[in-house]
Amino acid sequence: MNKKPTSSNTVWHQATVTRLRREKLNNHRGAIIWFTGLSGSGKSTLAHAVEEKLYNRDCRTIVLDGDNVRHGLCGDLGFSDEDRKENIRRIGETAKLFVETGVIVLTAFISPFSADRKQARNYVSHGDFIEVYCQSSIEECEKRDVKGLYKRARDGEIKEFTGITSPYEAPINPELIVNTEELSLEHSVIKVWEYLEKRNLFGT
């Protein structure tokens, strides 16, 4: 459920330009495509590749990327469990606003805790949230780690690093599992695209 506002003097203003009208203008539904997985599992790469394909289909899109968001909206947060929870809360609320404008929001966050992902799902209506689990072994993720984050975490330089010193709770029943360890980027995009078509995301 959404947090209640601190102030009791706020009233939700109902817009005359509704989500349905915006979606008709866009010629597609608004939705959140939530990519989750370990660091190095290919979340951002896949999200941006899917966005490129959506853009070429004249869809209104935005990618909310974990590192990018921490440069602004969540720049005041660290990586404690509480800060991670607040990070995902802010992203969920932001994504919800974009969905109301009829935009397809692609989020690329480790989002390690299942309860936080469930909360983000609950911000929007049933069917608006598509959880995509980018599945890859930690060994493969470490091989891909050009930033050297896993090595620094194992050396004790980075505290609370997901998969090493902080847990990752893999989705139990996501809408889609993409094995990014076995599939090429091209085939991963195809798998996501076919699912979006099956969900009738395009057209209103």
Residues annotated as part of the active site: 111
d(CA 22, CA 72): 27
For residue 197, what are its two tokens? Answer: 């078509």
Nearest to 161 by CA among 44, 29, 39, 66: 39
Residue 63 parent element (H or E): strand 61-65
Q: Which two tokens stand for residue 121?
A: 């799902």
Close Cβ partners of 25 (under 8 Å, ≥ 6 residues apart) = 102
Cα 3 to chain centroid distance, Å, stands at 20
Q: Which residue has the tokens 């091989």?
A: 143
| C-alpha separations of 189 from 9, 82, 117, 183 in Å | 46, 33, 22, 10
What are the residues whose beta carbons fall under 8 Å from the beta carbon of 115, sequence distance 6 or more? none
Give 40's Cβ-side CA count (13 Å radius).
20
